[in-house]
A and B are shown apart, each in its own frame.
Chain A
Amino acid sequence: MNPVIRSLGEFVRGAGFALVLLVVLLAVNLMLNPARFHPAAWGTLIGLAAPLIGAAVASAPVILAGRGGIDISVGPLMGFVNAIVIQALFLQAGISSPLVLVPAALLIGAVVGAANGFMATVLRIQPIVATLGTYLILAGVTLTILPAPVGPAPAWLKAMAGPYSILPLGAIFLLWWLVRRTPYYDQLMAVGSDDRAAYTAGVPVTKVRFIAYVMTGVLAGIAGLMLTALIGSADPNIGPTYTLIAIAAVSLGGVSLAGGKGGLVGAAIGAIAIFLLQSLLTAFNVSTYVLQVAYGAILVAAVVLTALQDRHALRGVSR
């Protein structure tokens, strides 16, 4: 079979339900709420969805790396970047140039990611515990330097909220596209699916996992900037709320929590599906409570259906 078609097929199978869900939700949204989903408004919509997409995409690399790899500090890291960029750099130090703020956000992300990676791969603390520590530290520090929301954000950053939010998203996927063309990608997937076999085959397992954590950190830094653009201010309470929903989006998008299966595009599709669900339910003017039930129900239904489908596929192969 043509390799392109085959990899497309694999992709559809992996992210299948999220993709179907996405199309259905998009159609329903378009029907019920044509004004909000008018092509002219798509820019705004992308801006609204960008932080969640960023958070989901950021959560993916460490999960792909396997053996319980997970980073629950992604949300608080976004909040921390948000607080540092606005409160410390823009309002207190008076720096507004993107040439400083963007590298600063990426650097913070990389440093936190490296710290997580050091704990999870060199000290070998279980990832969920290590990043739980980081979660608490970052959320606590953020609240300390920024007890209450402040604003505003630099004009250029606020301008990134609408259609231009496609730029950072585009940058992320360009980066991932490049990563997929390096041997590192194969090593990451090998480590994720079977680290013992990968180690025996000479893959530097520790290094590969460490880099995954740094990648997650950098991506979370970008997601933090997108969050800042969207809210146009600094708010210590918003970041942490992204953690669990991002992991849900990743899982919805066909990335296996066991590692080695899925990719960033699937994670993004999962995030968009969740975003569309949010818009649909808010369009119906339902309470946030229904939203909450729907979140949970869709999440459980999606993983259950994916599992049933996998089981079916497996049976087809073995017979």
Chain B
Amino acid sequence: MNALRSWLATTNGRIAAAFLVALLLHLIGTTLIPGYSSPFAIRAILVLAALLAVASVGQTLTVIIGGIDLSIPFVIGFANVVAAQLYGQGWNFVLVCTLVGLLAIVIGGLNGLISRGLNIHPLIVTLGVGMIVQGLVLLWTKGFPSGSAPPAVSAFVSIGGSVGPLPVPWLVPSVAVMTALIVLVLARTPYGRRLYALGSNPGAAPLALIDPLKMWVVTYAASAFFAAVAGVLLLGFTGSAYGDVGQPYLFQTIAAVVVGGAALVGGRGSYLGTIAGVLVLTEINTLLIGLGFKPAAVQAALGLIIVVLVSLYGRERHVSQTI
């Protein structure tokens, strides 16, 4: 028991535990619900998980640096609506994506600049900036966004899509590659090592030649960029623009990061852990809906499970042990 506990206290232990929970949930689903492991069901789970994984990149990075990003759902909605609107007006879609990506980087950079530069809690800054962004988009579209996704994007995320012989859409292998790249960036580049160091001890970072302001601006810009990518992918997934499409991702990204073993105090966590958290959340959702729970009950159960999982392996130290 004690050995298990100390293993769970390590980062790798937490990640492995989260993956095991996801697997366990899948096995439960397979026994309880006919067709739970059918090819179509697995494809659906993978696509939903991949979308959440893209949306959670930014939350992972900002949590490691010791912050949080509440603007993710707003930026998702922003990218979703703006991309559809401009494409609908006849713009070239590559140009649309470039513009949306750049705007997102500016929004995110602003989040980082204000939070770190003025030492204001990022919770408030990202919330305020997110609300402004969403309001501006609503103003621009007068609340009725139009337009649609180009067929290529829809095919990229379609549950029925395939990659050669693989029965999954391009989204799934792409997210797998993205995951590998992000893990590599975090583990093996100066940016990644500085990110963890800054989150671990903000007071020591400047003395170790880390520029906190630059790190925050870059990290929040990256967060918004990935949120924008998720927004465009969701446009392909749902087919039409919807400003609130990102709202479920507010809590889901935080939950995925935390279930994956990151500490919201910074310096800990990994994107692989977030992927595990994403799978756990997607499995829970699918399982409960499959068992006939109503969305409201699914939501309540999700809350309960987050709390149980985190109390198993995500506990903080007592104040007496921080002195």
Residues 293-312 of B at the A interface (beta carbon under 8 Å): 294-304, 306-307, 310-311
Asked if B265 and A68 sit within 8 Å, CB to CB, the answer is: yes
Asked if B251 and A136 sit within 8 Å, CB to CB, the answer is: yes
Asked if A247 and B143 sit within 8 Å, CB to CB, the answer is: no
Query: Does A313 sit at the interface, judged by CB under 8 A?
Result: no
Interface range on chain B: under 10, 10 to 19, 20 to 34, or 35 or more? 35 or more
Contact pattern, A 111-150, Cβ under 8 Å of B = 1, otherwise 0: 0000000010001111011101111111111111001000
Query: Does A258 sit at the interface, judged by CB under 8 A?
Result: yes
Query: Does B287 sit at the interface, judged by CB under 8 A?
Result: no
Query: Does B214 sit at the interface, judged by CB under 8 A?
Result: no
Residues 252-291 of B at the A interface (beta carbon under 8 Å): 254-255, 258, 263-265
- 27 A-B pairs, CB-CB below 8 angstroms? A67-B319, A68-B264, A124-B317, A125-B311, A125-B314, A126-B263, A126-B314, A129-B254, A129-B314, A133-B307, A134-B303, A140-B296, A140-B297, A141-B300, A144-B297, A244-B70, A287-B138, A290-B139, A293-B135, A293-B139, A296-B130, A296-B134, A297-B128, A303-B118, A307-B118, A307-B120, A308-B118
Q: Which of B114, B255, B296, B303 neighbours the largest number of chain A CB atoms within 10 Å of its CB?
A: B303
Q: A134-B303, A296-B128 are in contact. List 15 more A-B contacts (CB 8 A).
A: A124-B317, A133-B304, A133-B306, A136-B306, A137-B304, A293-B136, A295-B131, A295-B135, A296-B132, A297-B128, A299-B131, A300-B125, A304-B114, A304-B118, A304-B120
Contacts A68-B264, A136-B300, A293-B139 given; does A200 touch B323 at CB 8 Å: yes
Asked if B121 and A257 sit within 8 Å, CB to CB, the answer is: yes
Closest chain-A Cβ to B256's Cβ sits at a distance in Å of: 11
Q: Hey, which chain B residues are within 8 Å of A308, CB to CB? A: 118
Partner of A132, one of B132, B135, B251, B318: B251
Partner of B264, one of A126, A289, A303: A126
Q: Hey, which chain A residues are within 8 Å of B299, CB to CB? A: 136, 139-140, 143
Q: Hey, which chain B residues are within 8 Å of A195, CB to CB? A: 319
Q: Hey, which chain A residues are within 8 Å of B114, CB to CB? A: 300, 304
Query: Does B315 sit at the interface, judged by CB under 8 A?
Result: yes
Asked if B129 and A300 sit within 8 Å, CB to CB, the answer is: yes
Query: Does A248 sit at the interface, judged by CB under 8 A?
Result: yes
Residues 103-150 of B at the A interface (beta carbon under 8 Å): 114, 118-121, 123-125, 127-136, 138-139, 142-143
Partner of A125, one of B294, B315, B318: B315
Partner of B124, one of A205, A287, A303: A303
Query: Does A184 sit at the interface, judged by CB under 8 A?
Result: no
Please give the residue numbers on chain B whose beta carbons come within 8 Å of chain A beta carbons, in ascending order.
68, 70, 114, 118-121, 123-125, 127-136, 138-139, 142-143, 251, 254-255, 258, 263-265, 294-304, 306-307, 310-311, 314-320, 322-323
Query: Does A199 sit at the interface, judged by CB under 8 A?
Result: yes
Query: Does A196 sit at the interface, judged by CB under 8 A?
Result: yes
Contacts A129-B306, A140-B296, A144-B296 given; does A293 touch B301 at CB 8 Å: no
Partner of A126, one of B118, B120, B258, B318: B258
Q: Chain A: which residue is nearest B298 at the CB level?
A: A140
Query: Does A30 sit at the interface, judged by CB under 8 A?
Result: no
**In whole angstroms, how far apart are the Cα atoms of A8 and B128 in the complex?**
29
Q: Hey, which chain B residues are within 8 Å of A68, CB to CB? A: 264-265
**In whole angstroms, how far apart are the Cα atoms of A247 and B127 in the complex?**
10
Interface residues of chain A: helix, strand, loop or mixed (majority): helix
Query: Does A291 sit at the interface, judged by CB under 8 A?
Result: yes
Contacts A133-B307, A136-B251, A244-B127 given; does A205 touch B314 at CB 8 Å: no
**In whole angstroms, how far apart are the Cα atoms of A137 and B301 in the complex?**
7
Q: Which of A287, A296, A299 neighbours the largest number of chain B CB atoms within 10 Å of its CB?
A: A296
Q: Chain B: which residue is nearest A291 at the CB level?
A: B135
Partner of A136, one of B131, B136, B302, B310: B302
Closest chain-A Cβ to B167's Cβ sits at a distance in Å of: 33
Query: Does A292 sit at the interface, judged by CB under 8 A?
Result: yes
Interface residues of chain B: helix, strand, loop or mixed (majority): helix
**In whole angstroms, how far apart are the Cα atoms of A307 and B128 in the complex?**
15
Asked if B131 and A125 sit within 8 Å, CB to CB, the answer is: no
Partner of B318, one of A124, A143, A300: A124
Closest chain-A Cβ to B206's Cβ sits at a distance in Å of: 17
Q: Hey, which chain A residues are within 8 Å of B123, CB to CB? A: 70, 247, 257
Asked if B254 and A128 sit within 8 Å, CB to CB, the answer is: yes
Q: Chain B: which residue is nearest A304 at the CB level?
A: B118
10 closest A-B pairs by beta carbon, nearest first, are: A140-B300, A136-B303, A296-B131, A292-B135, A143-B296, A293-B135, A296-B132, A133-B307, A140-B299, A289-B138
Q: Hey, which chain A residues are within 8 Å of B129, CB to CB? A: 296, 300
**In whole angstroms, how far apart are the Cα atoms of A200 and B321 in the complex?**
11
Q: Chain A: which residue is nearest B259 at the CB level?
A: A129
Asked if A128 and B68 sit within 8 Å, CB to CB, the answer is: yes
Asked if B139 and A289 sit within 8 Å, CB to CB, the answer is: yes
Closest chain-B Cβ to A271's Cβ sits at a distance in Å of: 15
Q: Hey, which chain B residues are within 8 Å of A130, CB to CB? A: 307, 310
Asked if B132 and A144 sit within 8 Å, CB to CB, the answer is: no
**In whole angstroms, how far apart are the Cα atoms of A140 and B302 in the complex?**
9
Closest chain-B Cβ to A266's Cβ sits at a distance in Å of: 14
Q: Hey, which chain A residues are within 8 Å of B132, CB to CB? A: 292-293, 296-297, 300
Asked if A132 and B128 sit within 8 Å, CB to CB, the answer is: no
**In whole angstroms, how far apart are the Cα atoms of A308 and B298 in the complex?**
44
Asked if B130 and A119 sit within 8 Å, CB to CB, the answer is: no
Q: Chain A: which residue is nearest B123 at the CB level?
A: A257
**In whole angstroms, how far apart are the Cα atoms of A251 and B115 in the complex?**
14
Asked if B322 and A290 sit within 8 Å, CB to CB, the answer is: no
